[in-house]
A and B are shown apart, each in its own frame.
Chain A
Amino acid sequence: MEIQNSVMNNRKMFEQAFNYPTNKDIVFRDFKFQGKEGFVIYIDGMADGDKISDFILRPLLNKNDFSDGLKSVLQISSLTEETDFSEAVSAVLQGDCALCIEGDIKAYICETKGFDKRGVEKPQVENSIVGALEAFTETLRTNTTLLHKIIKNPGLTTEMVTVGKLNNLTCGVVYMNGIVNKEFVEEVKRRLKGIDTDFAQSGGMIEQFIEDHGSSLFQTVTTTERPDNAAALLMQGRIAIIVDGSPRVIIAPITLFSILKTSEESALRAPFASIVRLIRIIAVFAAFLLPALYIAITTFHAEMIPASLLLSIAKSRINIPYPAIIELLIMEFSFTLIREAGRQIPGALGGTIGIVGGLILGEAAVSAGFVSQACVIIIAFTGLGNFAIPQYQSAFTAQLLRIVFIICAGLMGFLGVGLAFVILVGYVNSLTSFGIDYVNPVFSGNAPMFPKQPVWEYEDRPSELRTKKTQSQPIVSRTWKKGD
């Protein structure tokens, strides 16, 4: 539908679209200048009323000379002309105001967004000791600004895509022009535009809509709340999807090992970062396999344990009325319960719940003969390993697969664990993220997860991204060394 030259018709169209006057959020401000009727429409609260009255209406009503057109009269930073009615409605919904004047077959869209928003705060989940302390917010523009602050390059490009037929959620597709492979940008836009739903609310929903394997146990896109992390990934040639209203930015395409890396590591010296990564790898291993190996060894392969340790484990289990697998599953459930309870209860009380649950309940369960000390140690170590996984959703993956491994170990010992592990490796190898392999093949030539290379050795961008510019720095990036 097009904007018409009759201001009355345009007003009726807007009234109908916004269910006016029943809808009390909508403000129409009629005016007359140079003998022509006109009106401004905006949503109360979304648009800045002061800005509209001071910089749009006042110049319109006070100025007499309009020979240079409206653009030279309205004192507003962004003014666009829109002939499509639905685009004008969409702009009003975003917080802008639409100005219609009798005889003009277009609406003037003025940038007047003025809704309340949260300021830039510290990251809540991805904490850093040596890295930056800014996190994304719920406002799309603030988030793009945070990225522009880090990447001061004209190539940083944001394209807007609207998702959700009824709620018109704006998503910003951000990439580094000149580095990124445009095929991936087109694919991201194609998938976002291809979402046919009435209501898309959060980044989490968008993630599920656009993933290659939406119901997979492994996330094939990642999210970050840290602008420095997002900027680093953009410079690698990946794409950021900023969803309006979501404080986490989606990054695609990704690989499994990119989930296990954190932005802080690039700020650390290579030996320290390598130690951190090694600990994380061990933690992931513990989170997935430790309880299963405990079950397998104590139930099927007890000959592996030195006699003294075996006796100690047997002694601690002497009063436990059920097999080790049931004991572990009960503890696993309890641990999850404590964690969820701690997460749901706000503030410091959540932490208290964790301590109370962990210490008192654990001690009481051992004393009452419900579980053995060995089991509590294993579950505690596994829980810590789970927390060491950087991504919240990946921690769920570890938890679910841990239960599968525990069951396999309880049924068939090392054979069960081995077979389940092969299936897991096969499954992960079958996954893709926006068409690229989720796991790099062995000896792919990319930087290894461990040991972490020094920053001056990161010459190439990840090969799987097929970037336009493959090198991020020359082989000798410390040119000052040449003179030494």
Chain B
Amino acid sequence: MDKLKLRTYDGIAVTGFLMLPALFSTGLSKLAEQNNTAAWIALLAAFVIMLCLFLITAPLMKRYEGKNIIEITSLVMGRPFGVIYGIALATYFSYFTGVHIKESVEILKIYGYNLTPIYIIAGLILLTAVIMNFYGGHAIVKSAGFFFVIIIVGIIFIMLLGLNRYNPDYLAPVLGNGISDIAKNSLFTASVFDNVIILFLFAPAFSNTAKMRKAGVLSISVTAAAFVLLYLCFIMMFSPSVASKMMSGFMEMGKSSYYNHFFYRFESILLFFLIFSSVMLASIGLFAVRESSACTFKLKPSKIITVICAVPVLIATFIPANILDLTEKYLPVIRQYSVFFMAGVPLLVLIVSTVKRVFKYEKI
């Protein structure tokens, strides 16, 4: 595996891919549901909160130039705490990646693949992420840089597409459910931008911490701008009450735009933005899991570690939704079909050993 090197733009692209994909799935409609017309103000407030948090914590990385956040935690708080933090970080990124894959798969199913089983789509996305990790961190970062341009173009494209359908009246009341509600939700909305902290994990890959800090500030700013502008376009097109009921605001904006008879069905093309963003998120997320695990347990990142790290991501992708989901899909696997795996493999080995007439183990 290669040694990772990051430029400022690479940092923006990598963190951007951990934050922006929410725009293509349920992010916009959830914002409309929680904050009504004032979501964009809450987003701006969240942006300021996260920017402050990032700028307050960034000097920590300068004090320990060349170390990542897990190593610094070990140095400052002791090795046990460092290990716990490393495991927690790896678990968080596993969960984060898995849940986002699940969300993207559900959106893909709704907008084009309603007959394809979830596990096939999710499996393919995760497989692609694993292959990307096999190519190494450098390839992922450069690919993120390439696809980030496409994603930004996609966001601008969809905003321009609905120009003739925007109704500024839907922005009122500007303060939504009131200032107290905005203040309450802003802190939680800051979680939209919190993945910028991944830069602390990749800090040694920057030539200096100033570049890392610049990448962090710019990535939060770009993401916040994209969120605020797209959200404003979204509610100007649908009104907050209708918008909050939708699955993917981005796809619906494409679906509702009509120009002429020839260009009238955009949503299938928009699937590409969803696919690119979800796969890049999965790749970067898996890379973060691998890096944090390898750093925590002082392992050399390798292909086998990548495969092992993909397992918790896969598990997170298929977390049962409720007890009904658990009893109908998951428990039958354990209670009815697991015998084929548990007893089947030893039986197969027995048959092969009988056929090959290997009955004795000879010690060399």
Contact = CB atoms under 8 A, between A and B. Distances in A.
Interface of A: 297, 300-301, 303-304, 306, 412-415, 418-419, 421-423, 425-427, 429-430, 437, 439, 441-443
A297 B265 CA distance: 12
A418 B7 contact: no
Nearest to B268: A301
Nearest to B142: A429
Interface of B: 7, 9-10, 13, 108, 112-113, 116, 121, 124-125, 128, 131-132, 135-136, 138-140, 142-143, 145-149, 261-262, 264-265, 268-269, 271-272, 275-276, 279-280, 283
Contact of A418 (B146, B262, B271): B271
Contact residues of B: prevailing secondary structure: helix
B270 to A, nearest CB: 10
A422 B139 contact: no
A430 B264 CA distance: 38
B128 A422 contact: yes
Contacts of A303: 265, 268
Given A419-B128, A441-B7, A442-B149, A425 B143 contact: yes
Contacts of B275: 414-415, 418-419, 422
B60 to A, nearest CB: 28
B272 A306 contact: no
A439 B268 contact: no
A437 B108 CA distance: 34
Contact of A304 (B135, B143, B147, B265): B265
9 contacts: A303-B268, A306-B261, A414-B271, A418-B271, A426-B132, A429-B139, A430-B138, A441-B9, A442-B145
A430 B135 contact: yes
Contacts of B112: 300-301, 413-415
B280 A422 contact: yes
Given A304-B269, A429-B138, A422 B276 contact: yes
A423 B131 contact: yes
B139 A441 contact: no
B128 A437 contact: no
Given A419-B128, A419-B279, A425 B272 contact: no
Contact of B139 (A418, A421, A427): A427
B139 A442 contact: no
Contact of B108 (A301, A415, A421, A442): A415
A418 B112 CA distance: 14
Q: Shortest 4 CB-CB distances between A and B: which pairs?
A: A418-B275, A430-B139, A430-B135, A301-B268
Contacts of B140: 426
A441 B139 CA distance: 10
A415 B138 contact: no
A444 to B, nearest CB: 9
A260 to B, nearest CB: 16
A302 to B, nearest CB: 9
Contacts of B262: 306
Contact of A419 (B9, B125, B139): B125
Contacts of B132: 422-423, 426
Contacts of A301: 112, 268, 271
Contacts of B143: 422, 425-426, 429
A442 B113 CA distance: 32
A419 B275 CA distance: 7
A414 B121 CA distance: 12
A304 B279 contact: no
Contact of B279 (A300, A414, A418, A427): A418
A421 B271 CA distance: 13
Given A418-B275, A442-B145, A426 B139 contact: yes
Contacts of A413: 112-113
Contacts of A426: 131-132, 135, 139-140, 143, 283
A334 to B, nearest CB: 30
Contact of A425 (B7, B125, B146): B146
A414 B268 contact: yes
A414 B272 contact: yes
A421 B146 CA distance: 12
A292 to B, nearest CB: 13
A232 B271 CA distance: 43
A425 B143 CA distance: 6
A415 B268 CA distance: 10
Contact of A422 (B9, B147, B264): B147
B12 to A, nearest CB: 10
A450 to B, nearest CB: 14
B124 A441 contact: no
B120 to A, nearest CB: 8
A423 B130 CA distance: 10
Given A301-B112, A304-B268, A441 B131 contact: no
Contacts of B145: 441-443
A431 to B, nearest CB: 9
**Residue among B124, B143, B148 facing the most chain A CB atoms (10 A cut-off):** B143
A437 B139 CA distance: 10
A443 B135 CA distance: 22
Contact of A429 (B131, B146, B148): B146
Contacts of A429: 135, 138-139, 142-143, 146
